Amino acid sequence: MFIVNVEGAIFKEEHWLIIERSKKEEHAGGLLSFVGGKVESEGNVSQILEKTVIREIFEEVGIQVKDSPQYVHSTSFISDSGESVVNIVFLCTYDVGIAFAKSPDEVEMIKWMTSKEIFSHPKAPLYLKESIKLAESFIKANHIR
């Protein structure tokens, strides 16, 4: 019925970990994005969304985040290929590792960017900007540094 996709909003020292999606990607190729991916069928698993975002971050950019992603918001959309998608964004706390394009078929480039840099970037879609605004509000409301 729906593809379930999760994204990790990783914030460290006033910067967001942003990827440029590979141009090979079926949906939003070449655009800026948070790291994320689809929930896979794993049987009976608790906290499947949280585990998926942690796994996707490690698979795509090689860093580890702490085991407590915090829900920011969710949206639905129709992908470029016509599939219905539910997308959930989590605020993730960086733990260890140096980000690199571990999965070049999915990730073209990685960069730590300020909100201002993202908001003015020509490859930053409106939905990424909205997610950043909501994540910033979550950070402020919960006194996260």
Average pLDDT across the chain, whole number: 92
Task: Write the CATH number for 10.
Answer: 3.90.79.10
Query: In 3-state terms, what secondary structure has residue 114?
Result: coil
Q: What angle do CA 8, 10, 14 make, to 5 degrees?
A: 150
Torsion sign (Cα): 76, 36, 51, 91:
negative
Question: pLDDT value at position 52?
Answer: 96
Inform me whether the pLDDT recorded for 43 exceeds 80.
no
Highest mean pLDDT among 5-14, 26-35, 98-107: 5-14
Each residue of 3-24: pLDDT tens digit?
999 999 999 999 999 999 877 7
Each residue of 65-100: pLDDT tens digit?
999 999 999 999 998 888 999 999 999 999 999 999
Domain that holds residue 67: 3-141
Q: How far apart are CA 58 and CA 42, in angstroms?
A: 18
- Number of separate domains in the chain: 1
